[in-house]
Structure 1
Amino acid sequence: MGCFPCFQKKDQVAQSSEEKPKPAPSSEPKKQNSGNVKKDNSKENSNRGSEHIAAQTFTFRELATATGNFRADCLVGEGGFGRVYKGKLESINQVVAIKQLDRNGLQGNREFLVEVLMLSLLHHPNLVNLIGYCADGDQRLLVYEYMPLGSLEDHLHDLGSDRRRLDWNTRMKIAAGAAKGLEYLHDKANPPVIYRDLKCSNILLGEGFHPKLSDFGLAKLGPVGDKTHVSTRVMGTYGYCAPEYAMTGQLTLKSDVYSFGVVLLEIITGRKAIDNSRSGPEHNLVAWARPLFKDRRKFPQMADPMLQGQYPSRALYQALAVAAMCVQEQPSMRPLIADVVTALSYLASQNYNPNNRTFQNSSHSPRTKRDSENKRRI
């Protein structure tokens, strides 16, 4: 599959040439509308588009001041798009994250405008909040709410000495929250939105490990009416792209479900979607997991060693069953994201206590499950 752009780089591939969604007409303000994304026939350029955007505009000078002229000690992240800085905007008295797009990077004007439009029109507790943007000259910057705990990737794969391992309860909470954000895009937005770049580094964490989807530069309006898919240039990140999308460029909501399945596997196993330090089938997480899915006795082998055995066996089986369904090769065999939300919300509601191996349901009285009971079939 190396001939497809999706599989050429670890991070996002070259700038998209596809059509972006247009902003809503100014006669129909969308700031309070959390579900409708509409298009008009305005010319495709950032100046015309910005007339209809509800997010605040900032000057480059304001953002430079907020970050101490983009000092190195304010840098909190870096990727193919450019760099992210932590800053303090005095005009609104708020700590923010400022993403400065690399003028020679992989994310161009189209992706910049798509992200501003999407996050101006779509609002949900599990989507990152866009505060504003800057389009001074050739400078392109996005201003978000600051997410103090960084990304899910930071807590799974880049675990520093200042970070503790994620326990089982927190992992299920993050998985359920990310699924709810995706459900909003698929089922509540009108027309539906295909996220197209779901991965651990794009799931940001707030206080209490509350997850929010971020980085909507590759988002695409989904099929409507009798259409089953949208055809587009293949974009995404190696290891997360659905196989049918990588092969044909036909994008569906089930493409996102596949990507979510990969993320869920990462959450459960602690392994990377693509791990260059491993060889053979272990290099690709899905390729490694598929044979193990066929034998429930091997499920404990798939649990992250960092959990140190502190997880409920039955919930592990159920979570792996959900992941296995999401990464089915045939899109029609994958579940709807709403069904994934139902399953993971249940698992997240079961508060597991590793000290006495008990569960406490958030809406029911405490009850104990012994290991033998946890091994019953799903």
Structure 2
Amino acid sequence: MNGRSRFAFATMVAVAIMLLAQSPAFAASQMVRKVDNFIVLFDMSGSMSWRYCDTDSRKADLALADLKAMNELIPELGYNSGLATVASYHKYAALTPYSRSGYAANFTPLGDAVAAKTLLGPATPLGDGIRQAGADFTNLSGKTAIIIFSDGGQNTGRDPVVAAEQLHKNSGGNICFHTVSYATKPHDQAILDEIAAVGNCGHAVTTVDMADPARRAQFVKDVFYTEAVAAAPLDPDSDGDGVPDSRDACPDTPRHLKVDARGCPIPIKMRLEILFDFDKSDIKPAYVPEVEKVATLLKAHPEATVLIEGHTDNVGSAAYNMALSKRRAKAVEDYLETKLGIAPNRVHSEGFGLTRPIADNATEEGRAHNRRVEATFQNLFELR
């Protein structure tokens, strides 16, 4: 072989090595899995049939497309995988060794269910679904990722954040939650962010993030694997809030503020110790100081506003309790405005009925705690 031939051969080898290094098979050999199992929980509630924001796409259709796109990026590193829906709960795939094509086979029956979904579908027992998944997917060994595709519109059953915290605790910290959000309301987004923040080991993205190839790939990497050979690219945290810039939805957050899993400041939430008599919405004199706490904060921070949330126990119909919770929240709103001098444009109220219990409705004590009011402030955030 003459010199020119040797040069040509060496060039061919170099090009082949470069192409091999860029192939999925070669890249997979550089990856180390972060989890041993993953389970997808897919929200099939009625609200997932609604259009997402100002688009023509239904939330459920976007979620299915995002799930398929995520599956195309998951490296085959020996995971066990499962798939279930919530609202209503249905297991589409038991925990089995993961392969991309095998997992994709579950998408056909899931897609048929999504196509048949109507606005009259069930409410969202998201907390019940999380709990059921913990009971249903047994023999979990090692680290487990539970990935929730949902709009966060939890409106029935147990508190989903509490359910996630309990499952994380029962696993000895081996279960972490990750959320892909289709929320269109701030309090629904907050639920998903709080779920992802359980154990400080989850990640929260939106369907907008999943539509961006780079962000989608980063989410898959954050959940599933780390680089074993090549050092991971530097991912700076410009505002020093503990959330890398690639995942920071709120850049330039002041350093003195606490942030959620998306890097956004956490609004101050105050539980008011206002307990109501059964079927009543009047504020007893003993609880007036609780309302005054809200007024004090608002007066000290003129830029802040507040959402007053009303909640009930489960005695009576859901419709009646929804109306009762609205009356209770409105009673606090009216007191702040008429008795304590807070401008009407700074106070809003909303009722949640019996959908967000914090105690056991099977006991009188628990029901008393569920008959409550909470205040969530805007433009007023938790400090580090």
Q: Which bin holds the TM-score, normalised by the shorter protein? A: under 0.3
More helix by share: 2
Q: TM-score, normalised by structure 2?
A: 0.28
- Quick check: which has more Rg, 1 or 2? 2
Q: TM-score, normalised by structure 1?
A: 0.28
